[in-house]
Amino acid sequence: MKGEAKTTNFKLTRPVEKHWVRPELLEQPELMQVKLTLHIQNEPATEPVNEPVNEPVSKRQQAVLSAMKQNLSITREILASKLNVLLATLKRELSSLRQNGYIARSGSDKNGQWVILKNS
């Protein structure tokens, strides 16, 4: 950008002028300052939401819920073994079920039990 001082930010405003509303420039020589106001236009949101609002329950999550209904005191280790999945996989499924409001845990980890809040 020829002729522009390196200490100014005018080169940053030029691309803005091309694509958006032209900024309002207010010069005040007595104060030795320039005020640059940029009015941003909000565009309506037209992009679809990435994830569905009501995520469907997967087959594995249905199996987790079914096993919990049979035994509300079932441990994660036994549940993982019964479903033939790794403990880490089961923890992800439990986390998803909790976040979507299907299950909760009542009581302590040792003596507590699962609470089923919604049926799949």
Residues near 87 by beta carbon (within 8 Å), at least 6 away in sequence: 76, 77, 80
For residue 1, the model assigns a pLDDT of 46
Reported in sequence order, the residue ranges of the chain that DSSP labels E, i.e. its strands, are 24-28, 33-37, 103-106, 113-116
For residue 54, the model assigns a pLDDT of 63
The series of mean pLDDT values per 10 residues for the chain, 120 residues long, is 54 57 68 67 62 75 94 94 95 93 90 88
For residue 74, the model assigns a pLDDT of 94
Query: Which domains can be identified in the chain, with CATH numbers?
Result: 9-40 (no CATH), 59-116 (1.10.10.10)
For residue 29, the model assigns a pLDDT of 72
**d(C-alpha 25, C-alpha 42), whole Å:** 21
Check: CB of residue 16 under 8 Å from CB of residue 23: yes
Check: CB of residue 113 under 8 Å from CB of residue 73: yes
pTM over 0.85? The answer is no
